[in-house]
């Protein structure tokens, strides 16, 4: 588990790799209920099987609540982020962490051609890096102490 690992590897190891989505014409309330039900912070916005945006809790807070929009009366298209960065499964953990850090977003769709194959969050990538460090520390400790697994 290294930062040079590919996103394909990360997606294969994720406990849950489902793509949750809403349409631009659904209400923000419906989207928020779906986020709460699945304990996620963002949803893909899909129209005709095509990614057209992302709706995140941050979008709702900044473009919805702060501007006085009510979730029952506001459509997803009104507050979603329509400029969506994506990655391919061939990119590395490091590539994606750099992109997400530089562009200040937390969720990154993974695409193959015109098809979405997954989504990764900055949390997924941080967990990946931490697990890699834990493995390295464990191996070094075993080496130093001479306690090799049998």
Q: How far is CA 77 from the centre of its chain?
A: 20
Tracing tokens 């941050």 back to the chain, one arrives at 58
pLDDT in tens, 122-131: 999 999 988 8
Assigned CATH for 7-145: 3.10.580.10
Give per-residue pLDDT as tens, 17-60: 789 999 999 999 999 999 999 999 999 999 998 999 999 999 99
């Amino acid at each position: 588990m290294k930062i040079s690992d590919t996103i394909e590897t990360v997606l294969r190891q994720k406990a849950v790799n489902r793509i949750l989505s809403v349409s631009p014409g659904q209400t923000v309330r419906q989207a928020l209920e779906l986020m709460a039900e699945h304990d996620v912070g963002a949803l893909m916005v899909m129209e005709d099987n095509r990614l057209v945006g992302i709706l995140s809790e941050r979008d709702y807070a900044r473009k919805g609540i702060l501007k006085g929009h009510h979730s029952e009366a506001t459509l997803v298209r009104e507050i979603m982020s329509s400029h969506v960065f994506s990655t391919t499964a061939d990119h590395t953990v490091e590539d994606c962490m750099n992109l997400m850090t530089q562009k200040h977003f937390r969720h990154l769709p993974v695409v193959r051609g015109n098809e979405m194959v997954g989504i990764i969050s900055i949390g997924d990538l941080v967990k990946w890096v931490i697990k890699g460090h834990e493995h390295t520390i464990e191996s070094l400790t075993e080496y130093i102490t001479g306690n090799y697994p049998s």
